[in-house]
Amino acid sequence: MIGAKAEADSIYYNDEKLLEYVNLLNGLNEARTPNEWKTIKARSNFKDLFGVSIKPGDYYFIRRFGVLASNDKVLLSRMSMEKMIYCLFNQNYNMAQKLSILKQQRDREFLKAHLKSNCIGV
């Protein structure tokens, strides 16, 4: 989880609900790729994409994109992620439902491919 302090600073969602929505967004990407949203604990001070301060010990969200060796990434504080999730999902149950279906399909395909490669020894 993201941590008691972060949840206390929450605007809209507790840890569980926020991570549930973030996982739905990850369903738009290929399974187990570096460009999924992940949570990281900050070790230094910096600002996120929208200028919100992230302090050491704060958990924030990171999404990498581009080739693995590149430094292309988006950093969002918990507050910024909550606001983005709120804008996308509040009163938009259809979107959450469709993303849930997409994520389930993606996870099934990943598991099927993984099992197949293990069976044939690739």
Percentage of the chain exceeding pLDDT 70: 80
Cα separation, 42 vs 52, whole angstroms = 13
The model's pTM: 0.74
Cα separation, 60 vs 42, whole angstroms = 7
Domain spans in the chain, listed from the N-terminal domain onward:
4-119
- The tokens describing 31, both together, are 């399974």
Residue 42 has pLDDT above 60, yes or no: yes
- The tokens describing 111, both together, are 């598991």
**CA geometry: angle 75, 76, 79, nearest 5 deg:** 165
Average pLDDT of the chain, as a whole number: 83
Count CA atoms within 13 Å of residue 7 on its CB side. 10
Q: pLDDT at position 69, please? A: 58
Residue 80 has pLDDT above 70, yes or no: yes
Q: pLDDT at position 3, please? A: 61
